[in-house]
């Protein structure tokens, strides 16, 4: 059941996957702040192994804040720029492990070997679970194996040890000292919830927001709900449910089935249509999904009061390993072709629905359904959305819950700063009804606060 009195929230997170710090600073000022996004989630900021692949970010070499995306000074000034326009910063914190590769030199010039990171960790800082071959996790039905063996050969920190917890807490506290507001704890499932609690307890300042990556696996012993004492937890069942619904299963029942029985409570959940892993491994919709389903799923996520939503902002890729394009040469403008920035956070429906989410409050009401791929609902008396994930127009008179008036259709984009609608508006009559022709694979969204200009 939904929590009652769902309040307006400026809580939308944008995961700026692969963006460098200077570009994020610019985008905060130019777009994210004015658009009403609550947070940017940045790629892991610490020193990593070198290479062109995106995933080098997930192999820490040290906690020196000099990675591919910029140095400590650039990080600090990005945080300042984002704060200036009311956008908070969440750092992706890779704390379960260090590198997978044998030996090398990191992005800040630190020489390392597997299990030896000068001045930071030595052989004894790591789990050596003894599983043949290579200490790697195979069996996800074993809690011990998942948490003390290695994820794809990545040297697994002994996060139960006091000195390891202290070192990690020192790194996270350093991020906080630069103004970081929140943390995404990478690979949380691979650390005991009590150990994460120990690490957070050793920090000098507590983060304002924490989200933990604990991928739900049917039948597995480690449950997302174990981690709620530390902060939010990512609800991957939301992601797969939207993928199924928008691809084939039908969206009309989503208001009845989300959240599912054993899912995280709304206040504990962080949800997304896709993240950087799922967009690559078919565990979600992605930018290549047909028939506008990727965008329409975002409309549902942002309109529906469940969890804290994250919008992935990523880039086109030809292969799994492809790293981000060079953001120094521009991000949201002037590029095309393979490996270009997608800027999902600027998609007019996504920006428009982020504004909607920041303004509406109230429970889901006035639920209206057409076919199994058509769903409309109100958020109390403050907003209304109709999603037509069908190849035919959805025509009808809809109860919106809103007072009579003309409202901008923010599916076409947020109302602009001069008060004009991005494109068209919807008229609500004295009974709160609107006559709509909703185009195939499209949506309509209106809310109190985005009225159409009069005259």
In the list Ca ion, ligand LM2, none, the entry touching 426 (Cβ below 5 to 8 angstroms by class) is: none
> Taking Cα atoms as reference points, which of 302, 219, 311, 304 lies closest to residue 257?
304
Query: To the nearest whole angstrom, how small is the minimum distance from the Cβ of residue 92 to ligand LM2?
Result: 8
Which residues inside 59-98 make contact with Ca ion, applying CB under 5 A? 96
In the complex with ligand LM2, the residue whose CB is nearer, 155 or 436, is 155
Nearest-angstrom CA–CA distance, 404 and 430: 5
Pairing relationship of beta strands 269-272 and 232-234 according to DSSP bridges: parallel
Of residues 190, 237, 298, 441, which one binds Ca ion by CB under 5 A?
A: 190
In the complex with Ca ion, the residue whose CB is nearer, 197 or 361, is 197
Size of the chain, expressed as the number of residues it contains: 455
Which residues inside 277-336 make contact with ligand LM2, applying CB under 6 A? 277
Of residues 22, 92, 135, 156, which one binds Ca ion by CB under 5 A?
A: 156
Q: Does 140 bind ligand LM2 (CB under 6 A)?
A: no
Query: To the nearest whole angstrom, how small is the minimum distance from the Cβ of residue 183 to Ca ion?
Result: 17
Q: Does 199 bind ligand LM2 (CB under 6 A)?
A: no
Q: Does 233 bind ligand LM2 (CB under 6 A)?
A: no
Nearest-angstrom CA–CA distance, 255 and 7: 17
Of 47, 181, 186, 451, catalytic: 186
Q: How far is CA 421 from the centre of its chain?
A: 28
Nearest-angstrom CA–CA distance, 18 and 326: 9
In the complex with ligand LM2, the residue whose CB is nearer, 228 or 409, is 228
Render 314-373 in DSSP notation, one character per residue.
-B--SSTTPPPP-GGG-SSSS--STT-B--GGGSHHHHHHHHHHHH--S-EEEEEESSTT
Of residues 50, 77, 153, 240, which one binds ligand LM2 by CB under 6 A?
A: 153
Which of the ranges 51-59, 332-340, 371-379, 386-394 carries the binding residues for ligand LM2, by CB under 6 A? Answer: 51-59
Beta bridge partners of 108: none
Q: How many CA atoms lie within 13 A of 89 on its CB side?
A: 28
166 — phi, psi (to 5°)? Answer: -65, -40
Q: Does 186 bind ligand LM2 (CB under 6 A)?
A: yes
Q: Does 100 bind ligand LM2 (CB under 6 A)?
A: yes
Reading the block at residue 59, the tokens are 């192999």
Using CB under 5 A, list all residues that contact Ca ion.
Answer: 96, 147, 156, 190
- Mind telling me the catalytic residues? 186, 213
């Amino acid at each position: 059941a939904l929590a009652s009195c769902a309040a307006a929230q400026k809580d939308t997170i944008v995961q700026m996957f692969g963006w460098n710090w200077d570009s994020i600073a610019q985008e905060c000022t130019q777009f994210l702040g004015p658009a009403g996004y609550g947070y940017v989630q940045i790629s892991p900021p610490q020193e990593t192994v070198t290479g062109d692949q995106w995933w080098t970010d997930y192999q820490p070499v040290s906690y020196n804040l000099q990675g591919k995306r910029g140095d400590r000074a650039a990080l600090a000034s990005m945080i300042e720029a984002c704060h200036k326009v009311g956008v908070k910063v969440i750092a992706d914190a890779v704390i379960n492990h260090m590198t997978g590769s044998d030996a090398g030199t990191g992005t800040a010039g630190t020489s390392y070997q597997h299990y030896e990171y000068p001045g930071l960790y030595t052989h004894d800082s790591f789990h050596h679970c003894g599983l043949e071959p290579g200490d790697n996790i195979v069996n996800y039905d074993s809690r011990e194996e998942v948490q003390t063996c290695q994820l794809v050969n990545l040297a697994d920190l002994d996060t139960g040890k006091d000195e390891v917890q202290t070192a990690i807490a020192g790194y996270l506290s350093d991020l906080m000292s630069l103004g970081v507001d929140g943390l995404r704890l990478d690979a949380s499932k691979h650390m005991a919830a009590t150990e994460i609690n120990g690490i957070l307890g050793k920090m000098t300042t507590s983060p304002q927001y924490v989200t933990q990556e604990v991928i739900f696996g049917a039948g597995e012993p480690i449950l997302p709900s174990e981690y709620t004492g530390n902060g939010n937890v990512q609800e991957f069942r939301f992601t797969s449910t939207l993928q199924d619904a928008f691809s084939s299963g039908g969206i009309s029942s989503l208001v009845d089935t989300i959240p599912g029985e054993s899912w995280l409570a709304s206040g504990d959940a962080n949800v997304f249509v896709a993240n950087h892993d799922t967009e690559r491994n078919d565990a979600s919709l992605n930018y290549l999904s047909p028939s506008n389903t990727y965008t329409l799923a975002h409309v549902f996520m942002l309109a529906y009061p469940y969890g804290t939503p994250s919008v992935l902002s990523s880039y086109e890729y030809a292969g799994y390993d492809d790293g981000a394009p060079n953001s120094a040469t521009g991000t949201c403008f002037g590029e095309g072709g393979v490996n270009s920035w997608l800027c999902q956070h600027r998609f007019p429906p996504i920006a428009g629905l982020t504004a909607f989410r920041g303004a509406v409050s109230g429970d889901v009401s006035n639920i209206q359904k057409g076919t199994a791929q058509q769903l409309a609902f109100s958020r109390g008396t403050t907003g209304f959305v109709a999603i037509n994930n069908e190849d035919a127009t959805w025509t009808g008179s809809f109860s919106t819950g809103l007072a009579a008036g003309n409202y901008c259709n923010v599916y076409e984009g947020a109302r602009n700063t001069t008060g004009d609608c991005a494109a068209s508006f919807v008229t609500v009559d004295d009974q709160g009804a609107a006559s709509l022709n909703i185009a195939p694979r499209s949506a309509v969204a209106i809310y109190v606060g985005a009225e159409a200009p009069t005259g």
